[in-house]
Structure 1
Amino acid sequence: MAGGASEPGRSVTSKVLSILEVFETHLRPLSQGQIVELTGLPQSTAHRLLSELVTWGALYRDDNGRYQVGMRLWELGQHAGRQLRELSRPFIQDLHSLTRETAQLAIRDGSDALYIERVYSSKRVPRASRVGGRLPLHATAVGKVLLAYEEDWVREAILQHGLRAVSSRTHVDPGRLAEELATVKEQGFATTTEEVRAGVCSIAVPVFHRDGPVGASIGLVMASANSGNMTRHLQTLRGASRQIELATDHIPLSTILRFMTPGGK
């Protein structure tokens, strides 16, 4: 059958998506053999689909026969959350200029914090993610803010889904994390210290929407040596958050929430 769709339970679309999904976590170019191993696709199916993806521009094949994300797919991805990102960018840049720390903006995408804007500090701080990258909500300050202000049923589903330890200091006990999130909502900000990577701490506040729920979260990332005085940036963070709220007030909340499906990718 065309496209190898005779394989039980797998449509052509699911096979293509399984190939693209590989490049979410593998940033280096991959050979066809590696893609076959990671996706479970037959060699012949993988070869044909890879060729079609290269022809369309979703993937690029280098001189060594390895594949990586193509420019056309990258350009298409820039449209996701574009309004929110473009309107927020000046204020994320201001936040960085005023604090000299790495400033970032994130939304919830399933059980992950999806980073849609970031301005890096020139300071030597280990990098844990990038624009377009994801980290578990429960391990990041921006993620904890998003989770704390979510509807109860969403938060409960994520807490009970199984919390992955990104580092030895990630908070993964559902009961204790629920208590922490209650405190986050009460005080209006979240912090983390080395929950994703050693040497890194972070602080974040919510960005609300006129329709009620939190729409996004902005935060700062810095060296963990500064973990004891991160709250000195709270006034600046909250000021930037308010500016983003005003600038994005006209964007329907549904435009933001379309990313936010529990357990989704």
Structure 2
Amino acid sequence: MRSTELNARSVLDRAFAILGAFTADDRELGISELARRTGMAKSTVHRLVTELETHGMVERRGTAVVLGLHLFELGELVPRKRRLRDAALPYMADLRGATRQTVHLAVLDGTEVVYVEILRHKDAPALPSRVGGRLPAHATGVGKAILAFSPAEVVDSVMRAGLPRLAERTKVVPRILQRELTTIRSTGIAYDYEESGAGLVCAASPVTGPDGQVVAGLSVSGWTGRLNVRRMAPAVQTAALALSRDLGAPQRS
């Protein structure tokens, strides 16, 4: 029985390794490339891909493999994402209209933020972010807004994991990041000045839930020289507070 359980877990691990091999830049992969990325034999990858295809988790496009529609359907059912996204959309739309920039909504997952919704204004320049995309929390405005209001053990885990450098201005020294998080706690606003990428800036604020705990970060982002984040910050904070109230957050005194 125990052997069967271990084998089942091994199959799941392998299947998830295949699904995790895809990236935003590599949405179509062949069997050989999947084998290389996962470290599995091509025969094993071929067998697992066939099984995943049966369940709609992947699809075939000639000799290439792509993620399947059923994954998208399951993703839309994730309760935290669904409720948060539905509540946030009206405020995000208002913020996009007021700023004419790109609005992001993200949640913390481990040491990274995951973007659960992005609204882009037609006049705003294209940004590299995408729904479902991940970035290290310490290098983003939304991430720092979330961390500043997270329990100490959450911040400690981020620090212990290391602070990878995404751009020249990414803060990679723990004491400097801690000092900034203290400032964010007092102002309710976090900034990203080309820390997540060269030329990218944003202003962000935390979103809290019924228990007063931070549940997400909301931001307005754009290109340096085209977005005055200091001027946009009050609008971002107002939208985040309104969304928090809608989610049942206790009123701040």
TM, length-normalised to structure 1: 0.86
Q: What is the aligned residue count?
A: 244
Whether the aligned pair in 1 keeps the contact of 2:188 and 2:237 (CA below 8 Å) is no
**1:242: Cα distance to partner?**
2.3
**1:175: Cα distance to partner?**
1.5
Match of 2:65 in 1: 67
Whether the aligned pair in 2 keeps the contact of 1:203 and 1:221 (CA below 8 Å) is yes
**1:5: Cα distance to partner?**
9.4
1:169-209 deviation line (CA, Å, top 9, x unaligned): 21111111111111111211111121122221011011122
**1:239: Cα distance to partner?**
2.1
Match of 2:202 in 1: 202
Q: For 2:29, what is the secondary structure of its paired residue?
A: coil
Percent identity of equivalent pairs = 34
Q: Distance in 2 between matches of 1:241 and 1:33?
A: 46
Q: For 1:191, what is the secondary structure of its paired residue?
A: strand
Instruction: Give the unaligned 5+ runs of structure 1.
Output: 251-265
Q: For 2:164, what is the secondary structure of its paired residue?
A: coil
1:203-231 deviation line (CA, Å, top 9, x unaligned): 1011122312111110000111146x312
**1:124: Cα distance to partner?**
5.3
Q: For 1:192, what is the secondary structure of its paired residue?
A: strand
Q: Distance in 2 between matches of 1:25 and 1:16?
A: 19
Mapping for residues 139-158 of structure 1, pairs under 5 Å: 139-158=139-158
**1:62: Cα distance to partner?**
0.2
TM, length-normalised to structure 2: 0.90
RCO comparison, higher one (Cα < 8 Å, 6+):
1
Whether the aligned pair in 2 keeps the contact of 1:116 and 1:132 (CA below 8 Å) is yes
Q: In the superposition, relative to structure 1, how do residues 26 and 11 fare at CA in structure 2: closer, same or farther (>3 Å)?
A: farther
Q: In the superposition, relative to structure 1, how do residues 38 and 26 fare at CA in structure 2: closer, same or farther (>3 Å)?
A: farther
Q: For 1:203, what is the secondary structure of its paired residue?
A: strand
1:232-256 deviation line (CA, Å, top 9, x unaligned): 1222212211221132229xxxxxx
Q: For 1:236, what is the secondary structure of its paired residue?
A: helix
Q: Are positions 1:214 and 2:234 aligned together?
A: no
Whether the aligned pair in 1 keeps the contact of 2:207 and 2:216 (CA below 8 Å) is yes
Whether the aligned pair in 2 keeps the contact of 1:200 and 1:221 (CA below 8 Å) is yes
Q: Distance in 1 between matches of 2:14 and 2:5?
A: 9
Kindly report structure 1 stretches of 4+ aligned residues shifted beyond 3 Å: 4-7, 24-27, 123-126
Whether the aligned pair in 1 keeps the contact of 2:97 and 2:121 (CA below 8 Å) is no
Q: Distance in 1 between matches of 2:239 and 2:20?
A: 34
**1:147: Cα distance to partner?**
0.9
Whether the aligned pair in 2 keeps the contact of 1:114 and 1:135 (CA below 8 Å) is yes
Instruction: Give the unaligned 5+ runs of structure 2.
Output: none
Q: Distance in 1 between matches of 2:185 and 2:6?
A: 50
Q: Are positions 1:91 and 2:97 aligned together?
A: no
Whether the aligned pair in 1 keeps the contact of 2:102 and 2:124 (CA below 8 Å) is no
Whether the aligned pair in 2 keeps the contact of 1:91 and 1:244 (CA below 8 Å) is yes
